[in-house]
Amino acid sequence: MRARLLGRRGDERGGMSLELVLLAPVFVMFLMLLAAAGRVVDARSQIEGAARDAARAASIARSAGEAEAYAARAAARSLADHHWCRGGPRVFADTAQWGPGGRVTVTVTCTVDLGDLALVGLPGSRTFTGDAVAPIDTYTYRGTDGPPGDAP
């Protein structure tokens, strides 16, 4: 009986090594797929957050032109620490409804670098867009000739 057990064990030598060699690439691809999904989800949420920051910054500006500049600056600051946004964010502030009680809509677009995850089958880059809308306060002073003074 002992001879049979020893014989069987001897027949299976190297079986574990073969399984490891066959399954290791599958496991590595699975980990890379998880990393790619994490990168995409993180990029989308960061771009949406940058759009919210930009819309809020634009909504407190005193003029439509100032709102566009504030939005661009806020989006650039929000995404400044992220190296995956190629060429920085592109920001468009829609100030067509500018004025007390109106709203400002900001769109932030960023091309995300996915080149290091190309083995998973992702393209080298992908463009994501985030939109946000912020109301303009009805009672905020919107003059261009100085501080609010005795504004309500």
What CA–CA distance (Å, rounded) separates 37 from 96? 36
C-alpha count within 13 angstroms, C-beta hemisphere, residue 41: 6
Confidence band, pLDDT 50/70/90 cuts, at residue 133: very high
For the cut 70, the answer to whether the pLDDT of residue 11 exceeds it is no
Mean pLDDT of the chain: 79
For the cut 50, the answer to whether the pLDDT of residue 147 exceeds it is no
Tokens 């009986």 correspond to what residue? 1
Alpha-carbon distance values, 68 to 44, 49, 55, 104 (Å): 22, 17, 9, 10
Q: What is the pLDDT of residues 47-99, one digit of tens each?
A: 999 999 999 999 988 888 889 999 999 999 988 887 777 777 899 999 888 88
Residue 126 lies in a domain: yes
Residue 112 lies in a domain: yes
Task: Say what the pTM is.
Answer: 0.71
Residue 134 exposed, middle or buried by CB count within 10 Å (0-12, 13-18, 19+) = buried
Residue 50 lies in a domain: yes
For the cut 50, the answer to whether the pLDDT of residue 4 exceeds it is yes
For the cut 80, the answer to whether the pLDDT of residue 142 exceeds it is no
Chain centroid offset of residue 128 CA: 7
Residue 11 lies in a domain: no
For the cut 90, the answer to whether the pLDDT of residue 132 exceeds it is yes
For the cut 50, the answer to whether the pLDDT of residue 150 exceeds it is no
Residue 57 lies in a domain: yes
Look up the domain containing 52 and give its range: 16-135
Residue 141 lies in a domain: no
pLDDT value of position 29:
82
Residue 111 lies in a domain: yes
pLDDT value of position 144:
52
State the DSSP string of 84-135: TEEEEEEEEEE-TT-STT-EEEEEEEEEEE-GGGGGGT--SEEEEEEEEEEE
For the cut 90, the answer to whether the pLDDT of residue 118 exceeds it is no
Cβ contact 119:33 at 8 Å: no
What CA–CA distance (Å, rounded) separates 52 from 15? 55
pLDDT value of position 149:
41
What CA–CA distance (Å, rounded) separates 152 from 150? 6
Domain count of the fold of the chain: 1
pLDDT value of position 40:
85
For the cut 90, the answer to whether the pLDDT of residue 106 exceeds it is yes
What CA–CA distance (Å, rounded) separates 60 from 131? 17
